[in-house]
Amino acid sequence: MTETPIANRPRHIAIIMDGNGRWAQSRGLPRIEGHRRGVSTVRMISETATELGIEAVTLYCLSSENWKRPKQELDFLMHLLEQYLVEERRTIMDQGLRLKVIGRRDRLPNGVIAEMDKTLEMSKDNPGTQLVLAIDYGGRDELTKVARELAREVAEGSITESEICEASITERLYTAGLPEVDLMIRTGGDMRVSNFLLWQLSYAEFWVTETCWPEFSRENFLAAIAEFSVRQRRFGGLSVNE
């Protein structure tokens, strides 16, 4: 596939990594095998994003609603996450990736938090793609957090109600400092955002594929970027021809 020109590439790509369980069940395997297989796809995405010079990639790893899943599956997901944070350190450092984690921390196991913080510290000065893991993340929960912060600051007198604007909200989001999301990819075929980056996806282009995450390939990723590169982004205005 012809490489998309740098000027036409998205700066920030967000991905809903869906279909792990369905992929496994369709092959007579336990759901956890789909999650295990999905780790290799994460590695491919980070490698390809680095090659292309993508500034940031945000992966929806665990939503705030996923705690409703069976305990056995959740325990495995926590184990897999901790394992990833340890085993992928060499790859993260070799690729110059800068790890960032968004979402709540208070419900995560201590072991996961310890390995997370170690990897965050190791990679904080890396110059490459920011690899953002959304863990125990929910868009509504994030916006509620921001609303509470602003209400508290107004009550304390550090900001007035009239000073609250879009920038006030953006700079208090977990994603503060990251580029706007340009492209949102969803695997597994579902046509919804699933409480993911509700504020940040306001003007993102969507690309959905029936392919489940464990089988999502480099070719799929490049196809999504290529399609993004030819879309007209009006941001509420009109195109030149209109």
**27-57: pLDDT as tens digits:** 999 998 999 999 999 999 999 999 999 999 9
Burial 204-222 (b: 16+ CB within 10 A, else e): bbebbbeebbbebeeebbb
- Mean pLDDT for 12-41 is 94
CA distance between the termini of the chain? 31
Instruction: Give, in order, the Cα–Cα distances in Å from 149 to each of 142, 143, 168, 196, 211.
Output: 11, 10, 10, 20, 39
pTM, 2 dp: 0.92
**205-228: pLDDT as tens digits:** 999 999 999 999 999 999 999 999
Is pLDDT above 80 for 7? no
Q: Dump strand ranges (E) for the chain.
A: 12-16, 56-63, 98-102, 130-137, 183-186, 205-208
Q: Which residues are catalytic?
A: 18, 66
- Quote the percentage of the chain above a pLDDT of 70: 94
Q: Are 217 and 191 in contact (CB under 8 A)?
A: no
Does residue 31 have a known ligand-binding role? yes
SS3 at position 45: helix
Nearest Cα to Cα of residue 17 among 200, 199, 194? 194
Count of residues in the chain: 242
- What's the pLDDT at 242? 56
Does residue 19 have a known ligand-binding role? yes
CA distance 62 to 76: 12
The alpha-carbon radius of gyration of the chain (Å, integer) is 19
Does residue 218 have a known ligand-binding role? no
Does residue 89 have a known ligand-binding role? no
Full set of structural domains in the chain with CATH: 6-137+181-230 (3.40.1180.10)
**178-190: pLDDT as tens digits:** 999 999 999 999 9
